[in-house]
């Protein structure tokens, strides 16, 4: 398979452009975080990947096949919503097995898969328990197990840890990352938490105004931000105005900074 590829994807709602000309390649087995402030377009982008919204323009490919117009239930993906959306009238085991049941999977195969997933998320023996009697972290694990029941090609999570307290959120970050590495499944997480993205992801995609400002490894995002927005959004940063002379040498407050040059054609910028 060739992973997930987005090509010039745009989404407009009337005169408002929520996602603008986004292109992104996600190799198989990669853990990617879509990071940005509220309203930057990251959830809309995930909804298009999931098939819940159709792009106004552009295309989406998964495993080399164009899935732009393919219905959600035929995209072979698992998704965990921010609200978790567990079925309160079903047991833990019935929640996990739901997608298998509607696909007509034999009951003995369903039970075996449920037991495997419960062991994987460290909740063995919870199959007959009501979801109402679970803690927040336990419900989170059940939602993850339900999404993984069909062994999807792509695993999507929309701010899955935002409702958890700080200590539990950190523990779940580690568990989710370890689970992803164990399964080798391509995973995309939407988050507005910089620390969460920087500690979990192979690739961080920083978005603002419906556009990708930078897509790179966490260390590159931190050490070599693409612009002042990325530098300011990722952490506490000192930004200084920098100008260039005719040779491209950078100067700050009138003093030339040796060893630093601005890109060709740039007369000024910001230095962090």
Q: What is the tens place of the pLDDT at every residue in 167-208?
A: 878 888 888 898 899 889 999 999 988 988 998 999 999 999
- Strand 57-62 vs strand 4-13: parallel, antiparallel, or unpaired? antiparallel
Tens digit of pLDDT for each residue in 65-83? 999 999 998 999 999 988 8
Q: What is the pTM of this model?
A: 0.83
Lowest mean pLDDT among 69-83, 96-110, 245-259: 245-259
Query: What does pLDDT average to over the chain?
Result: 88
Please state, in angstroms and rounded to a whole number, the distance separating the CA atoms of residues 155 and 143.
Answer: 12
Sketch out the chain's domains with CATH numbers: 4-234 (3.40.50.300), 240-271 (no CATH)
Please state, in angstroms and rounded to a whole number, the distance separating the CA atoms of residues 205 and 164.
Answer: 23
Instruction: Indicate if the pLDDT at residue 268 is higher than 60.
Output: no
Instruction: Indicate if the pLDDT at residue 14 is higher than 90.
Output: yes
Please state, in angstroms and rounded to a whole number, the distance separating the CA atoms of residues 201 and 251.
Answer: 35
- Strand 249-252 vs strand 240-244: parallel, antiparallel, or unpaired? antiparallel
Alpha helices in 64-217 (DSSP H): 92-102, 107-120, 136-148, 166-183, 194-200
Share of the chain above pLDDT 90, in %: 62
pLDDT band for 1, please (50, 70, 90 cuts).
Answer: very low
User: Contact at 8 Å (CB) between 270 and 263?
Assistant: no
Predicted local distance difference test score (pLDDT) of residue 107: 94
- Largest Cα–Cα distance of the chain, in whole Å? 75
Predicted local distance difference test score (pLDDT) of residue 241: 72
Q: How far apart are the first and last CA of the chain?
A: 40
Q: What separation in angstroms does the CA of 223 have from each of 26, 199, 217?
A: 22, 15, 10
């Amino acid at each position: 398979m060739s992973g997930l590829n987005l090509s010039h994807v745009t989404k407009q709602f009337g005169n408002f452009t929520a996602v603008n000309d986004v292109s992104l390649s996600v190799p198989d087995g990669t853990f990617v975080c879509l990071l940005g402030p509220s309203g930057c377009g990251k959830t809309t982008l995930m909804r298009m990947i999931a098939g819940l919204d159709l792009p106004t323009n552009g295309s989406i490919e998964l495993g080399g096949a164009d899935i732009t117009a393919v219905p959600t239930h035929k995209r072979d993906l698992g998704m965990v919503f921010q609200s978790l959306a567990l079925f309160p009238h079903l047991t833990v085991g019935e929640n996990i097995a739901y997608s298998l049941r509607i696909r007509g999977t034999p009951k003995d195969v369903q039970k075996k898969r449920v037991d495997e997933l419960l062991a994987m998320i460290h909740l063995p023996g919870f199959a007959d328990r009501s979801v109402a009697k679970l803690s927040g972290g336990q419900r989170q694990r059940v939602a993850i197990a339900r999404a993984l029941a069909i062994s999807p090609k792509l695993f999507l999570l929309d701010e899955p840890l935002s409702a958890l307290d700080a200590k539990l959120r950190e523990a779940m970050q580690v568990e989710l990352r370890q689970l992803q590495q164990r399964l080798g499944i391509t995973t995309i997480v939407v988050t507005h938490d910089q620390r969460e993205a920087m500690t979990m992801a192979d690739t961080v995609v920083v978005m603002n105004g419906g556009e990708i400002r930078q897509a790179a490894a966490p260390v590159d995002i931190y050490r070599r931000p693409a612009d002042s927005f990325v530098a300011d959004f990722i952490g506490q940063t000192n930004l200084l105005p920098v100008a260039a002379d005719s040779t491209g040498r950078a100067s700050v407050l009138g003093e030339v900074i040796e060893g630093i040059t601005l890109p060709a054609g740039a007369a000024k910028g910001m230095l962090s």
